[in-house]
Amino acid sequence: MYEVKYEDLRGNIINENEALENGNYYKSYYENNIIVKTEIVKNKEILNVHYFYIEKEDLSKNVQQHINNYKNVSACFHNKLEKVNEDCFRERMNLYNEGKMDKIEDNYIDAEGNELKNITYKIEGEKLIPVFEIEYSFDEYGDVIEKYKKY
């Protein structure tokens, strides 16, 4: 059984009645205090569903389950973190839109959870074609510097 929490679009915790009355909210499902799914609701309609900690091998099963439950609602499937090297992890996000896998994003983060790089790919058949990349660094004041690279 899931524990369900509601947040307004600013991230403030609200109760179910406030969420349903307002019509714009996040509805998150937790299992053992770990988030497993979030529905993004605007104007009382589910626009997008995010699934977390998906095993790569289970992706097609999860997509089919999403289609059965939500039809053509967009979805983002966040894979479990993969260790790239000693100081870097990758989270792959498979983006499902309009009835098909639309694109893939790879987010690279360090051990402290800081985002280092994001690469977005379009899917052409079995190939992943890079579209753009954002590399993150920090200046001497700790502010984020973003470097964009378009392919």
User: Mind listing the pLDDT tens digit for each residue in 21-32?
Assistant: 999 999 999 999
Q: Which pTM does this prediction carry?
A: 0.86
Q: Read out DSSP for 3-72?
A: EEEEE-TTS-EE-HHHHHHH--EEEEEEETTEEEEEEEEETTEEEEEEEEEE-GGGHHHHHHHHHHHHTT
User: Mind listing the pLDDT tens digit for each residue in 111-128?
Assistant: 888 899 999 999 998 899
Domain spans of the chain?
44-150
